[in-house]
Amino acid sequence: MSKNGTVEQRYLPEISRKEMDELKNTVKIASQKIIADNIERMKRADPHRPEAMKYFDDIANLFGRRQQEIQAEKEKGKKVIGYMCLFAPTELILAADAIPVRVNSGWYDTSKLGDRVVPVEVCPVIRSTIGAKMIELSPFLEQSDALISVLTCDGMTKLSEILSDQQTIWGMNVPRIKDSTQSLRFWSDEIKHMKTQIESFTGNKITRKNLNEAITQSHRATKAFRRLQNLRRTNPVIMGRDAMLVNQAYTWDDTKRWTEKTELLCDELEKRAQQKDWVCSPDTPRVMITGTPMFWPDNWKLPTLVEEGNPQGIIVADEQCSGERILNDPIGVDEWSMDDMLNAISERYLMASTCPCFTSKNGNEDRINWLINKAKEWNVQGVVYYVVRGCMLYAMEYSRVKKALDKINVPVYYLDTEYTREDVGQLKTRVEAFMELLNARVDF
Amino acid sequence: MAGELIGNILILIVLAGLGAAGVISVIIWKKNRVARVTFLRFVIQAVGLAALFFLFSLEPSIPLLYVLIAWFAVMLFLGRFFCGWVCPFAFIMDIESVIRKALKIRYRLLPERLNTALHKGRYLILAVFLLLPIALWLIDPPPNTASAVMMARLLAGPFRPYSIIIDPLIPLVVPWTGQIVLGDINLSYPYISDIVTFIDTTPGQIFAVVFVVVTLIGAFLIRRVWCRFCPAGASIAAINKFKAFKGVPLLYIEKDEEKCTKCGVCKRVCPVQVPEVYEQKGGKIGTSQCMLCARCVEMCPYEDALKIKLANKPVFKSRNWLEPSINDE
Amino acid sequence: MDLGTQRVKAVVLKDDVVVGRGQMFAGFDPAKATEQAVNDALKAANLSLLDVNHFTATGSAMDLAPHANNTVSMMGADAKAGVFLIPQARTVIDIGAEEARAVKCDARGLMMEFVVNERCAAGAGAFIEAMARALEVKLDDMGLLALKAERASPINASCVIFGESDVVSLIHRQESKPEIARAVFDAMADRISSMIHRLGINPEVVLVGGVAKDPGFVASLNRKLDLAVQIPEYPEYAGALGAALIAATRAKGASK
């Protein structure tokens, strides 16, 4: 795989360096503006935003501090291993002293570029990632020395093929039936294989001690993460968007530092909760978002609409692989032997996942259970089922989710959209009508 | 007597051990919430061992009988709690596991099918243990009345319901009461006295050696290996199988379907590989394979997803074991 | 005030009785048009701006509304108006120029659930308009024309443009005008009914919005839904009426 064109590109079109740079600059400038704008709006929504959010605002600039840090580490000889789906065992990457980063793209502009390679019917997350690759926009995608691509949905499967034009891709087969013994056996073989692959690529052996440390590290992160989510159970102390940004920042930030900063944020929020210092009126409808992942920075329109709408809502929970699914499940290690740690890792990544690409004896029941549990425990008043066009798996699961949530009397609104900014007006009407509906339910 | 001397030393060791265990458990209880239950279990097992030791080394016949009848009654209500928390034999197996963990040797699993086969086949093993005396009687009728009476007393042993639970443990707890010598080695080991008493020397000894190897070495590699065969456990389980006793087990594990994300931790950490906790959708976990050791409840990372209930009141719930209130120091 | 995508409507309500209505093409300056519509409505009611206690705006341009004290979503307004006009109504369908909505509501006129057609005009009034253009008939005549047809030729209603090309191909196949007109309505009713089925049909079903005035469409929709859809008087004012009703309750709430 080379970038200088000695290898024929099977999918990606040939773009001249000049055109590429021009496009990259335009999109990059636009994107930086959007990042600044999103943060500005988040600041406006919560006039005395937690101090600790400053760090996350800083790290949220994808083209800023974190990019340079990774670059510096890379120069010191560290490897960067990117991944697309959450199934990539980041603990193994950490244990091999490499840097894990998630490389899914949330840029609207690049999805239009992706149209040159794949038809518009394809999920915009995929198209946008392809577009980002075409103009080498995404800092983390470009910095990745290798990519772990887990073949979850159809889009991801072919995306890995398309990206392999320019990058080293390690595919991981994921079994579609989640709860059978043979699936688990298959998946743990994949994990073990990934371990040897990471070891030979980075040249660092994953020892028992290293892995133990990595897992403990991720336990700490999960602890901080759960603490933050638990703070959102009561009257709102943090805007949903802020929390979502914190959650998502984990996928590119340094794990240790992220944990520290999140704990700091939680300390601050706990104080606020004690002082009964709520970010918005406790009557504000509490909303949960589920569905297609929403990636920073561009794809932030739905949370913005919910929290800036009139009437306003507040996002208290989500069920998205760009949100609370990132760190919700700890790795349940029984005995700290290499074998058991690997088993625990494979179970954590396969069985605890609620991705709709799975099915099991009872269908994707785990997801339903998650939603019901969250709805009850977080006092969710309404669920926004967010789907981007082309995301078949989420779209198809809607009927079941709706029925299940109807049973516990939580209204769901199905909202489908695209990677564009043009439909914000229409979405606004719908989101606001839904908030009004929730308000009306609160009143009676 | 050498036996008594050993006994006294043992008492001292047990007492000292109990004291140390108490101190350690308090420290660990404070520090490490994740492993609390495991340590609590060790403490209870040690206490159980001590209690049984004093019971057995006292006048054995009368008080023991009453105590054992009381035990039997408790067992009816608690199910296999005894297996998970008190049984001294299980204690030995748990200690073996601790040693194995310290040596960083990984455990092996019994194949799932064999495990389920054993789950059902335990009753056969129980039947063999119960029928063995009759078979021996039939094969080799005792020559005279005196020996017939002796034989009858021996035979009656396994039929006493408590006896099959507790009797085999006596040589384990009080080594000199059931001194079994194989070659030159004193093997005070559960069931061996039964085996060697009932079966004549050579086959009995082979059987006994096999037994020791299976349980001692087996338990080192496979967690709680004997519990999957154990006729005592099967007898407790069998009692709870009767319809009239369906509602009796006061102690049981309950699962909250909605809070479970099916991460599979419960299935993996279970020392006897019970699949039901994982597979069952929710509600009361109904399997006599489960020993109520609460390892799954302890390791379940979702708050309230699993709980142990005593008479419909939760005694112990699964926690978010990463809960923020713990300090790392 | 209902600031729709094509027309703006205003309704003046006095003691829960409609006393004045006014409408205007939105054009480029919906605010100005609304001003005009409000004035018309007030003139009809013999009132002046100062007599109005409370203004509530709805519609896609509600944020631009002049005088507005506050706003309400179209779905909320529809539900309110639907139940006000026909008290048994539990499902309100509102088909405007560029959007179709279906709202499930309760006896108090509170919305329980709603669906909106997918960002495309094919399920809305603009579709009929475009088709009328293709058939070279007047918009008002479309419905009457369709009623004459015995059968319908199937066309695609996934998109206005594709629908139009389908109509053209039907014309080339020399199908009669009434049949094509009916086909247009059937296709549209098909989309609307599948939308309502997603919501679940709760009788009585009320149809409001400009399209409700079209008998051809109503006939098609009745056929598709297999029930008689109720149509109130002045269906196109429903949004504005709902807003007015909400304004009335809000005014009462404020004066208390």
What are the chain A neighbours of B265 within 8 Å (beta carbons)?
332, 334, 344, 347
Q: Which domain holds residue B201?
A: 2-237
pLDDT of residue A255: 92
What are the chain B neighbours of A227 within 8 Å (beta carbons)?
324
A2 has a pLDDT exceeding 60: no
Does the domain spanning C1-86+236-256 belong to CATH 1.10.167.10? no
List, as one string, the DSSP characters of A45-85. Answer: HSTT--TTHHHHHHHH-TTSHHHHHHHHHHHTT--EEEESS
Q: Is the torsion defined by CA of B96, B97, B100, B102 positive or negative?
A: negative
Least confident of A107-111, A199-203, C207-211: C207-211
- What domain count does chain B have? 2
State the pLDDT confidence band at A196, using cuts at 50, 70 and 90: very high
C157 has a pLDDT exceeding 60: no
What are the chain C neighbours of A310 within 8 Å (beta carbons)?
71
Q: Topology of domain C88-231, per CATH? A: Nucleotidyltransferase; domain 5 (3.30.420)
**Pair C153, C181: CB distance under 8 Å:** no
Section A339-357 average pLDDT: 90
Say which residue, A121 or B208, is predicted with more confidence: A121
Q: Suggest the residue from B34, B265, B297 to mutate for an interface test with chain A (most A CBs closer than 10 A).
A: B265
Highest mean pLDDT out of B20-29, B162-171, C6-15? C6-15
pLDDT of residue B241: 63
Look at chain B and count its residues. 329
CA B184 vs CA B176, B187, C64: distances in Å? 15, 9, 101
Residue % of chain C over a pLDDT of 70:
90
B322, part of any domain: no
pLDDT of residue B164: 57
pLDDT of residue A1: 43
Residue A260: partners with Cβ closer than 8 Å, 6 or more residues away: none
Cis peptide before C204 (omega within 30 of 0): yes
Q: What whole-number distance in Å separates Cα of residue C100 and Cα of residue C210?
A: 11
pLDDT of residue C121: 59
B245 has a pLDDT exceeding 80: no
Identity of the residue in A310, A411, A434 whose CB atom sits nearest the CB atom of C71: A310
B102, part of any domain: yes
Chains that touch B (3 or more CB pairs under 8 A): A
The ipTM estimated for the assembled molecules is 0.81
Cβ under 8 Å to B: A residues 350-379 = 351-352, 354, 360, 362, 365-366, 369-370, 372-373, 376
State the pLDDT confidence band at B152, using cuts at 50, 70 and 90: low
- Of the candidates B159, B154, B219, B148, the one whose C-alpha atom is nearest the C-alpha of residue B193 is B154
Give the 3-state secondary structure of residue A385: strand
Q: What whole-number distance in Å separates Cα of residue C188 and Cα of residue C173?
A: 21
Section B144-168 average pLDDT: 58
Chains that touch C (3 or more CB pairs under 8 A): A
Say which residue, A216 or B327, is predicted with more confidence: A216
How far does Cα B23 stand from its chain's mean position? 25
What are the chain B neighbours of A181 within 8 Å (beta carbons)?
112
The answer to pTM > 0.95 is no
- Asked whether the beta carbons of residue A352 and residue B321 sit closer than 8 angstroms, the reply is no
A44 min Cα distance to partner chain B (Å)? 30
Section C208-220 average pLDDT: 81
Section B92-114 average pLDDT: 84
- Of the candidates B324, B297, B326, B309, the one whose C-alpha atom is nearest the C-alpha of residue B41 is B297
What are the chain B neighbours of A348 within 8 Å (beta carbons)?
263
Least confident of A371-380, A419-428, B24-33: B24-33
Pair (B124, B191) in one structural domain: yes
Say which residue, B312 or A202, is predicted with more confidence: A202
What are the chain B neighbours of A179 within 8 Å (beta carbons)?
262, 279
A321 has a pLDDT exceeding 50: yes
Q: Check contact A-B (3+ Cβ pairs < 8 Å).
A: yes
- Dmax over CA atoms of chain B, in Å, equals 73
State the pLDDT confidence band at C225, using cuts at 50, 70 and 90: confident
pLDDT of residue C256: 47
Q: Chain C interface residues facing chain A, Cβ-Cβ under 8 Å?
A: 60, 71-76, 108, 110-116, 118-119
| CB neighbourhood size of B176 (10 A) | 17
Nearest CA in chain B to A374: B259
What are the chain A neighbours of C73 within 8 Å (beta carbons)?
429, 432-433, 436
> A226-238 in b/e burial notation, b at 16+ Cβ within 10 A?
bbbbbbbeebbbb
State the pLDDT confidence band at B328, using cuts at 50, 70 and 90: very low
Section A178-193 average pLDDT: 90
B253 has a pLDDT exceeding 90: no
Locate tokens 């990463």: which residue? B322
What are the chain B neighbours of A329 within 8 Å (beta carbons)?
261, 263, 301
Say which amino acid occupies A62.
L
Residue A241: partners with Cβ closer than 8 Å, 6 or more residues away: A42, A45, A300, A303, A304, A307, A315
What are the chain C neighbours of A441 within 8 Å (beta carbons)?
110
DSSP state for residue A8 in the 8-state scheme: P
pLDDT of residue A188: 92
Section B124-140 average pLDDT: 70
Q: What whole-number distance in Å separates Cα of residue A313 and Cα of residue A311?
A: 7
Query: Pairing state of beta strands A286-291 and C91-95?
Result: unpaired
State the pLDDT confidence band at C226, using cuts at 50, 70 and 90: confident
Locate tokens 């297999």: which residue? C226
C145 min Cα distance to partner chain A (Å)? 33
Tell me whether domains C1-86+236-256 and C88-231 share a fold. yes
Instruction: Check CB contact of B99 with chain A, cutoff 8 Å.
Output: no
Look at chain A and count its residues. 444
Instruction: Check CB contact of B17 with chain A, cutoff 8 Å.
Output: no
**Pair C5, C239: CB distance under 8 Å:** no
pLDDT of residue B68: 65
Nearest CA in chain A to B38: A334
Q: What whole-number distance in Å separates Cα of residue A384 and Cα of residue A401?
A: 11
Section C55-82 average pLDDT: 79
Query: What average pLDDT is seen over chain C?
Result: 78
A181 min Cα distance to partner chain B (Å)? 9
What are the chain C neighbours of A411 within 8 Å (beta carbons)?
112-113
C105 min Cα distance to partner chain A (Å)? 10
CA B69 vs CA A92, B62, B66, B73, B245: distances in Å? 54, 11, 5, 6, 17
Nearest CA in chain C to A416: C118
What are the chain A neighbours of B104 within 8 Å (beta carbons)?
208, 337
Q: Check contact B-C (3+ Cβ pairs < 8 Å).
A: no
Query: What average pLDDT is seen over chain A?
Result: 89
pLDDT of residue C201: 78
Tens of pLDDT, residue by residue over A274-285, are: 988 888 888 889
Chains that touch A (3 or more CB pairs under 8 A): B, C
Q: Cα-flanking dihedrals φ and ψ of residue C223, to 5°?
A: -60, -45
Tens of pLDDT, residue by residue over B40-65, are: 788 788 777 777 777 766 655 555 66
Sketch the domain layout of chain C as residue ranges. Answer: 1-86+236-256, 88-231
CATH number of the domain residue B276 falls in: 3.30.70.20
Identity of the residue in A332, A336, A372 whose CB atom sits nearest the CB atom of B263: A332
**Pair A133, A12: CB distance under 8 Å:** yes
Reading the block at residue A99, the tokens are 């840097």
Tens of pLDDT, residue by residue over B226-241, are: 888 877 777 666 666 6
- Of the candidates A392, A378, A366, A382, the one whose C-alpha atom is nearest the C-alpha of residue A441 is A382
pLDDT of residue B329: 33
**Residue C104, strand partner residues:** C91, C113
- Asked whether the beta carbons of residue B301 and residue A335 sit closer than 8 angstroms, the reply is no
A201 has a pLDDT exceeding 80: yes
> SS3 sequence, chain C?
CEECCCEEEEEEEECCEEEEEEEEECCCCHHHHHHHHHHHHHHHHCCCHHHCCCCEEECCCHHHCCCCCEECCHHHHHHHHHHHHCCCCCEEEEECCCCEEEEEECCCCCEEEEEECCCCHHHCHHHHHHHHHHHCCCHHHHHHHHHCCCCCCCCCCCCHHHHHHHHHHHHHCCCCHHHHHHHHHHHHHHHHHHHHHHHCCCCCEEEECHHHHCHHHHHHHHHHHCCCCECCCCHHHHHHHHHHHHHHHHHHHHHC
C3 has a pLDDT exceeding 90: no
Q: What whole-number distance in Å separates Cα of residue C32 and Cα of residue C34?
A: 5
Give the 3-state secondary structure of residue A311: coil
Section A99-123 average pLDDT: 88
Say which residue, B36 or C185, is predicted with more confidence: C185
Reading the block at residue A82, the tokens are 């990117």
State the pLDDT confidence band at B242, using cuts at 50, 70 and 90: low
B96, part of any domain: yes
Give the 3-state secondary structure of residue A365: helix
HSE-up (13 A, CA, CB side) for residue C48: 1
Identity of the residue in B104, B112, B258 whose CB atom sits nearest the CB atom of A181: B112
| CB neighbourhood size of B286 (10 A) | 13
Locate tokens 């087969």: which residue? A173
Query: What average pLDDT is seen over chain B?
Result: 73
Cβ under 8 Å to B: A residues 224-253 = 224, 226-227, 230
State the pLDDT confidence band at B161, using cuts at 50, 70 and 90: very low
